[in-house]
Amino acid sequence: MAVLKVRKYGDPILRRRAEPVGAITSEIRTIVADMVDTMYDEVGIGLAAPQVGVSLRLLVVGDEETREARALINPVITDQSGQATAEEGCLSIPGIFAPVTRAAWVRMEALDPGGQTVKMDARGLLARVLQHEIDHLDGVLFIDRLDPVTRDRIKRKIRKEGLSEGASHHAFAL
């Protein structure tokens, strides 16, 4: 498989709502495999298709301990509860981290690469990763979920450091 280029902050594809996946073809399965390779190469724990230039509702999440990856096609959060705030980063905004409040628990439905329905309840880090990656599918970045003062400070830092020009930094990020 192949390691794909991760799109960085400022790339218009990161702000578009991704299209649903229709048929799960061999091309889709190849994209999934390439996304898994890319996620691990970038030391990430999740990756959405728009982050590699593919505007489809597809994401991969990795298990930190087993290094097993799971692909989720057309994922939808069907229920959520509670709140939890934790530091987040993003492979598309390297080197930037900030506290984000999200649901503490989510229920999600999706398809796997074999076309089977997957239903998943998640809490903790997995719930956070799923919400972060599904946000990418909707054209939302984690910095959009910050309070205005923090968001403006981070945007100034991004401009100052030129991160929107595709700087190559490795960070443990979503």
Q: For residue 122, is it within any domain?
A: yes
For residue 30, the enclosing domain spans 12-165
Tell me: the pLDDT tens digits for 46-61? 999 999 999 999 999 9
Q: For residue 68, is it within any domain?
A: yes
CATH number where 32 lies: 3.90.45.10
Q: For residue 1, is it within any domain?
A: no
pLDDT by position in tens, the chain (length 174): 799 999 999 999 999 999 999 999 999 999 999 999 999 999 999 999 999 999 999 999 997 667 789 999 999 999 999 999 999 999 999 989 999 999 999 999 999 999 999 999 999 999 999 999 999 999 999 999 999 999 999 988 888 887 654 433 333 355
Q: For residue 2, is it within any domain?
A: no
Buried b (16+ CB within 10 A) or exposed e, 53-89: ebebbbbbbbeeeeeebbbbbbbebeebeeeeeeebb
User: Structure pTM?
Assistant: 0.90
Residues noted as catalytic: 133
Whole-number pLDDT of residue 167: 38
Structural domain tally of the chain?
A: 1
Whole-number pLDDT of residue 171: 37
Q: For residue 7, is it within any domain?
A: no
Whole-angstrom Cα distance, residue 45 to residue 172? Answer: 7
Q: For residue 42, is it within any domain?
A: yes
Whole-number pLDDT of residue 12: 97
